[in-house]
Structure 1
């Protein structure tokens, strides 16, 4: 549920409870659900030769509209698999085959009507093979959602230094109007996708500087890694039927009075300072990007703003923020990544 039209729908369907906000982004059925098998009939599992386990979920409507050459792509309608086979089965060869296909799909827009490929991101993102935690290729960011692979991202919550829980305020960015997904909506302080060859700390240092010009050295020294959220959705960021497996690596930092976030590379159109109660109200009114609401909910739980006394659905919210992915091996791989992030501090 994204894009300008759905931003309007968010406001029209307000107010939201915290659990209703979770329901917007935790939409992929669990394997124990009666609808799970039927749901998977709408998808192909993505495989990369010669690796035996799948790495993503590709919606059927994408398969029929992508420029897939038989030389490199094998489709098995019975097994519901789609496999990339590269000439040399090397990192470079696999990356070239996939990015060539993505580029052709991008250039065919809007004829193919794949909105995920409308914008070429010019940023490379890793495709992780979960069983070995090996990065087996890298691809342009426009293909991450469409292919339904794991999408590691980093998010920063910045608050005022030395304030009490009652007076604490947080810095909240507003997304630029040109953004393809959720333009003009409130977000976290900073955040974005984790690029190839980046650690979570490297990623948040980069994003905090690029988006809101927070000093790199200060963020590297003071930003605290506090864990991760795991979300699995039944649509892409721009609202097409698909799959998103989001691993949100979470950081927080306190900023001194003289360190004020400001507009950086144009990804955000402004940054405002809000009290926690004001932020809660913005979330209820549907003004905050849904996936970013999950970051704020986690922060509010950890800092005692959401408790069993004021949130009856607290335990369910906590459980669903840390859901298990349905792709074999990803949870174990991300647990290892989390340990690495903690050792960086």
Structure 2
């Protein structure tokens, strides 16, 4: 498996120099390629890549790797081949596309619609205490988006899976790049979100579940928009809200001159150059 170094999009030269490359890697600086030898099958490639990340962490020289997530995510080639699985610690550093599910939940009361907006727990490693989408989570290897969304709703806000399953509305996808990582380093995250909406009945009150959420409160659309303008939302959640506002006619060509540019940046095509 060869990895073209141009695809290591977070400060590639610094990353390559900081990494400890075990003997099963061949680094060719002239052709800017990194080749994994001996990785003849899926399981072996997965094991060798974990060994590579462990070596980098133990060397204590790599400043773009956060803590182990203990969650495995798929790495796909540009033609869609599932090459290996890696711990989430390596996603941003190696420019791997992260697939996630994001849901905006709302409740109608009289003529008013309000939105359930959580704040992230103060103990979160990334963006602690910032505002979030109602529920979000990364898609683990082998997990279907709808199953991930139902699971995350139960874990984060204690929602009944049968209610979630019956009332979720799928709203397509967005794909985009950001110029910093979750750990705050300059770089480029590549993300694809499967989008959902969920209408809550007035008797369903979210409860704090697995500790990912600090608190959750109802906000009007104007309050959400003000919070977005004030930079109070986690960056990728702002993308979800932009898509929501466009999808529901709150951002239009008549009130936003950059609508075409915004839409194009919410639908990027990500290619990872692996052969």
The reply to whether TM is greater than 0.5 is yes
- Aligned residue in 1 for 2:95: 148
Residues 202-254 of structure 1: per-residue CA shift (max 9 Å, x gap): 11112112222222222222212111111123432212233321111111111
- Aligned residue in 2 for 1:66: 19
- Aligned residue in 2 for 1:237: 182
- Aligned residue in 2 for 1:192: 137
Aligned residues: CA RMSD: 2.2
SS across alignment from 1:322: coil
Give the deviation of 1:184 after TM superposition.
0.8
- Larger relative strand fraction: 2
Q: Which of 27, 44, 62 is residue 93 of structure 1 equivalent to?
A: 44
Q: Which of 43, 47, 63 is residue 114 of structure 1 equivalent to?
A: 63
- Aligned residue in 1 for 2:214: 269
Decide whether the 8 Å contact of 2:150 with 2:164 is kept in 1. Answer: yes
* Superposition misfits of 4+ residues, deviation over 6 angstroms: 52-55
- In the alignment, structure 1 residue 257 sits paired with structure 2 residue 197: no
- Aligned residue in 2 for 1:158: 105
Q: Which of 84, 89, 98 is residue 137 of structure 1 equivalent to?
A: 84
Give the deviation of 1:163 after TM superposition.
6.5
- In the alignment, structure 1 residue 290 sits paired with structure 2 residue 261: no
Decide whether the 8 Å contact of 2:4 with 2:32 is kept in 1. Answer: no
Partner Cα separation in structure 1 for residue 5 and residue 193 of structure 2 = 21
SS across alignment from 1:145: coil
Partner Cα separation in structure 2 for residue 197 and residue 148 of structure 1 = 20
SS across alignment from 1:146: coil
Residues 278-331 of structure 1: per-residue CA shift (max 9 Å, x gap): 1000111111112111101111111122223332322221221112335469xx
- Aligned residue in 1 for 2:76: 128
Residues 249-274 of structure 1: per-residue CA shift (max 9 Å, x gap): 11111111121222111111011111
SS across alignment from 1:286: coil
Query: CA 1:67 to 1:181, structure 2 compared with 1: closer, same or farther past 3 Å?
Result: same
Decide whether the 8 Å contact of 1:283 with 1:293 is kept in 2. Answer: yes
Q: TM-score of the superposition, structure 2-length normalised? A: 0.91
Give unpaired runs (5+ residues) of structure 1.
Answer: 1-47, 330-345
Decide whether the 8 Å contact of 1:106 with 1:120 is kept in 2. Answer: no
Give the deviation of 1:193 after TM superposition.
1.0
- Aligned residue in 2 for 1:339: none
Give the deviation of 1:112 after TM superposition.
1.4
Partner Cα separation in structure 1 for residue 82 and residue 6 of structure 2 = 11
- Larger relative helix fraction: 1
Give the deviation of 1:139 after TM superposition.
0.8
Decide whether the 8 Å contact of 1:147 with 1:243 is kept in 2. Answer: no
Give unpaired runs (5+ residues) of structure 2.
Answer: none
Decide whether the 8 Å contact of 1:57 with 1:242 is kept in 2. Answer: no
Decide whether the 8 Å contact of 2:106 with 2:199 is kept in 1. Answer: yes
Partner Cα separation in structure 1 for residue 99 and residue 110 of structure 2 = 31
